[in-house]
Structures are given as structure tokens and as C-alpha cells.
Amino acid sequence: HAAPAPQAADAAAPRTADAPASPRAAAEAPAVRYAPMGDAHLLVEYGPQTLDLALRVRIHTLADALQTAAPDGLGELTPGVRSLLIRRDPRRLGEEALLGLLRELERGLPAASEVELPSRIVRLPLSWDDPAAQEAVTRYAQSVRAGAPWCPSNIEFIRRINGLDSEDAVKRIVFDATYLVLGLGDVYLGAPVATPLDPAHRLVTTKYNPARTWTPENAVGIGGAYLCVYGMEGPGGYQLVGRTIPVWSTSGHAQGLEDGLPWLLRPFDRIRFEPVSHDELTRLRDGFHGGATAVAIEPGTLRPAAHAGPLAPAAETFTTRRAAAFAAERAAWEEAAAATGAPA
């Protein structure tokens, strides 16, 4: 066998950032952690495990700076909400060289509060409690877990676990919310993971346990504090509220796509849902792949970190009530599990 190629550390020497961090950037800089992932990846994590839009902006600026530096041997970058997975060619980019570069780049990153990003407003039709979503819940109850707390209605479960007065309150929140896309590929094929900009719109749920074996293409669901549009038919665990148009076009002929890319949405897009009937959604879905369905997209910009400050009184009231309802729901599960032996 041939000997492994030597590490090319000198060729990938760290580069100094273009400019020193501003005082604000230095003050806002979150804690950072670097963790090797196998022999060809490195994971960068920022801050605590909480939903913080400022951390997502930090990940974006780091990825942008790393791509601009473009060290030899740099591979694919996979951004998360507060993490960045970096692939490297170990023969051309040594781990210590990459770490050195990351530390240098860190000093030059702007404060998240200073970052303004392209942010389109994308208006998607939503068939509320669509029959296809109802079918997924029915199949689950019949073949997986009949007595699950989210059966027979995911929307009623969302209402209960968030402490809301009615299912209409769930519907009103979803249609009033502006969902910020934090990333793509949450499930499959360009599926967005998104969260409301306004904390008072952040419905929080558990996921199915065990998971569904079937979810309709383009079902819209909520899991944790995140919303997802399923890119294709398959298994899943988010609580379903309805269905929308495709977010992926293999043919590339759909309206709203850019530069021949098959996915409709981009990170930092803002999604607004518009109510439509099941029949109207069927017509829009049928016309999407052939380019007959127009997707309403407005250009714009956004400072995401501006929405990461202290909670407004209304949002604080909502989150306090939500936390109490969530805790009560979990306590009821534990009590039922102790009495019956069913999963909690």
C-alpha cells in the first residue's frame, strides 16, 4: 500500500482577517467551540443551545469569510442554526492550519447587530388542516400509535401544549407570523427550517414518538420552535398544520427559481402564508412544475439580530403561558405512563 500523503500545512497557512473587529463586535462575540468530526470534518459551534438569531447571523458571516479566504483543501460548508460543519481534504488542509485560520477570521467578524442581509418575502399558499395532512395523522393512529397525545388532531395538540384558547388561535398565529428561513434541507430536497421573527408567534411542540412512516409531499409542520415544509413524501415527526406548494422542482421549470437551481427558498427568506382552499391548492400544485403557478416574491433586506433582543411584554406573556402549558402536558404524559406503562 502507498504511504499516506503528507499534510500540506504550509500551503494552507492561516490568513489574517482584512480588518480588526469593531468594539461592538468584540463585545457581542459569542463563545466558540471547535470539535473534530472524523478525519475530514470540523464542527464550529457558537453560544449556548438556545434559539438566538444573532448566532445564526454569526454562522453566516463566518461561512462567508471562510469562503472568501478559500484555503486550498476547503470543502463543503454546512451551516446550522448555531453551528457550521466544515469539510476539508486532510491531504491539503491540516486540522491545525484550519483552526488557525478560523481563529484569525473570528477576530474580523462584524457584530451580528451590524449585519444586514438580503431577505426576500416569499408568500406561500397554505391549505389549513389539508385532507392530505389529516390522512397522515389517521394512518399514524391506525398503524403506529393510536393513543398518542397528538392524535386524532395535531392542531388540537398544538393548541393544548401552547396554552391557547382555541384551534382558531393556532391558525391565527400561523397566518400572522413571518417565518425566517434559517436553513434548507431540514428534511429533504430544499425543505426549509424556519422560525417566527416575533417570539409571540413561536409555537413550540414535541415531535412524534415514534415517527410517522408517511408524510405527504409539502406538508407544513411544527417541531420544537421550528416550522418545516416537507420537500417530498416520506417519514416525519413534525406536528402537521396543512399543506403548501412544492419547494423543489427537479425539472427547474417552476417560477421563482434562480439560476436553474431546483430549490425555491433561500436562507434568510421571510415566509408569509396565505390561506387557500384544498381545491385551490390542488390547482396551484398541479401548475407549479410546469411554470404555470406564480410565486409571489418581494426583494428586501433584514437585520435578523434586531429581532433577538429582550422580549416585548406581549411576547413575554405568551412564552410564560406556553412554558406552563408545555410543562403541564409533559407531566400528564409521565403520570399516564406510570399508570399504564405506555410511552411518555
Contacts of 203 (CB under 8 A, 6+ apart): 158, 162, 170, 173, 174, 222, 225, 322
- Residue 250's pLDDT is 85
Q: Quick one: pLDDT at residue 276? A: 98
Does the fold of domain 118-322 match that of domain 10-112? no
Average pLDDT over residues 32-39: 95
Instruction: Write the secondary structure of the chain as one string of H (helix), E (strand) and C (coil).
Output: CCCCCCCCCHHHCCCCCCCCCCHHHHHHCCCEEEEEECCCEEEEEECCCCCCHHHHHHHHHHHHHHHHHCCCCEEEEEECCCEEEEEECCCCCCHHHHHHHHHHHHHHCCCHHHCCEECCEEEEEEEECCHHHHHHHHHHHHHCCCCCCCCCCHHHHHHHHCCCCCHHHHHHHHHHCCEEEEEECCCCCCCEEEEECCHHHCCCECCCCCCEEEECCCEEEEEECEEEECCCCEEECCEEEEECCCCECCCCCCCCCCCCCCECCCCCCEEEEEECCHHHHHHHHHHHCCCCCCCEEECCEECHHHHCCCCCHHHHHHHHHHHHHHHHHHHHHHHHHHHHCCCC
Provide the pLDDT confidence category of residue 309 given band limits of 50, 70 and 90.
low
Among 235, 199, 205, residue whose Cα is nearest residue 222: 205
Residue 284: predicted pLDDT: 96
| CATH fold of 118-322 | Cyclophilin (2.40.100)
pLDDT one-digit tens code per residue, 69-128:
999 999 999 999 999 999 999 999 999 999 999 999 999 999 999 999 999 999 999 999
Q: What is the pLDDT of residue 40?
A: 97
For residue 4, the model assigns a pLDDT of 38
20 pLDDT exceeds 70? no
* Model pLDDT for residues 264-306, shown as the tens digit of each residue: 999 999 999 999 999 999 999 999 988 889 999 999 999 988 8
- Out of 27-31, 195-199, 241-245, 340-344, least confident range: 340-344
Fold of 10-112: Gyrase A; domain 2 (3.30.1360)
Tens digits of per-residue pLDDT, 7-19? 333 333 333 334 4
With vertex at residue 249, the alpha carbon angle to CA 248 and CA 252, rounded to the nearest 5 degrees, is 135
Higher-confidence residue of 20 and 253: namely 253
Model pTM score? 0.88
Residue type, 257: L
Q: What is the mean pLDDT of residues 242-270?
A: 90
> Which alpha helices (DSSP H) does 201-295 contain, by range?
278-288
Q: What is the mean pLDDT of residues 225-251?
A: 95
- pLDDT tier, 64 (very low <50, low <70, confident <90, very high otherwise): very high
Residue among 204, 205, 229, 234 nearest 219 (CA): 229
Q: Grid coordinates in use for 322? A: 406556553
The set of cell numbers assigned to 163 is 396554552
Domain boundaries, the chain: 10-112, 118-322
pLDDT at residue 8, as a whole number: 37
Helix (H, G, I), strand (E, B) or coil at 63: helix
CA pair distance 28, 22, nearest whole angstrom: 10
290/171: higher pLDDT: 171
Query: Residue 308's Cα: distance from chain center in Å?
Result: 16
CB 216 within 8 A of CB 228: no
- The answer on pLDDT for 226 being more than 50 is yes
Q: What pLDDT does residue 261 have?
A: 87
Instruction: List pLDDT tens digits, range 319-338.
Output: 899 999 999 999 998 888 88
Share of residues in the chain with pLDDT > 90 (%)? 74
Judge whether 197 and 180 are in contact, CB under 8 Å: yes
Contacts of 76 (CB under 8 A, 6+ apart): 87
